[in-house]
Amino acid sequence: MIGPMARVFVTRLLPGDAVDRLGAAGHEAEVWEGPMPPTRKQLEAGVARSEGLLCLLTDRIDAQLLDAAPRLRAVANMAVGTDNIDLGECSRRGIAVGNTPGVLTEATADLTFALILAAARRLLEAADAVRAGEWRTWGPADWLGVDVHGATLGIIGLGKIGRAVLRRSEGFGMRVIHHNRRSGLSLDTVLAESDFVSIHCPLTEETRGLIGERELGLMKPTAILVNTARGEIVDTGALTRALVEGRLGGAALDVTDPEPLSADDPLLRVPNVTVLPHIGSASKATRESMADLAVDNLLAALAGRPMPHQVAP
């Protein structure tokens, strides 16, 4: 069991009072307060004397980092996914790893449907035109989008978030089809029949690059691809080419590969693309709940108990 006083490195400023709870429990919390995530060297320095680490998806937790952290006993990832963490290496070293499931489901599903609507009705393009002074009169052929009501929605990955998106689609009278690892239609069928394809599967070696040149070629030329899962699931270059060449109707992305995209990335110059800065869980209540769950995981592990949401060992 780790002693009552432990040092915890927190890689970003967090909303709410979650970090204060570490201090109230007798632990010392060092919070990285820079506007950008810590560099690799700064992250290594932060964990060098720490028993606990509260990190984000932007922080790569691998064998090299763990070598620099001989006292580390607990890692709390403020995310549902853990693809930034080498779980096997943590397990081998007896380091507990926890995540923050459940609390971001509804917020991410809300954003997913906002992206579907924004892309279908070309909201960002129309709003930009107003700001640029290009709206001079009402025209019957201006800013024509596509209907969401009655359209076919294809969901890839029918976990908690996928099911929450499905529930929202019912209010729009959508036909929903899905592909999951163990159920539903084949991926090719879902891609070929859908007017909107929404990605909600986790990033694994199996799903990395799942949507590439061939898969995009199966989609309707009017279809819209929505991704609020992980950017690496979609081949960015293939997506850009499909949009530029008119083989796909549009894309709405909260996640990209790489992340963030550089300002001169060709994908950002395509008019029928909406790209957001990974804000799927960005409601005040949701982010505060995520921070609280991460601290709950740390407090348990630092007291020698299993984490409430432990994924490794």
**Looking at the annotation, which residues are catalytic?**
230, 259, 278
Rg value, the chain, Cα: 21
Instruction: Tell me how far apart the alpha carbons of residues 81 and 290 are, in angstroms, rounded to a whole number.
Output: 12
User: Burial code of 16-49, b = ≥16 C-beta within 10 A, e = fewer?
Assistant: bebbebbeebebebeebeeeebbeeeebeebbee
Alpha helices in 98-254 (DSSP H): 105-120, 123-131, 160-170, 187-193, 213-218, 236-244
Structure tokens given for 142: 């201006």
**Token pair listed for 118:** 């924004």
Asked if 142 contacts 122 with a C-beta cutoff of 8 angstroms, the reply is no
Q: Which two tokens stand for residue 61?
A: 């937790």
Q: Give yes or no for a contact between 235 and 213, defined as CB atoms under 8 angstroms apart.
A: yes
As a whole number of angstroms, the distance between CA 158 and CA 178 comes to 7
CA distance 65 to 68: 5
Pairwise CA distance, residues 202 & 208, whole Å: 9
**Residue given tokens 């007798």 in the structure block:** 26
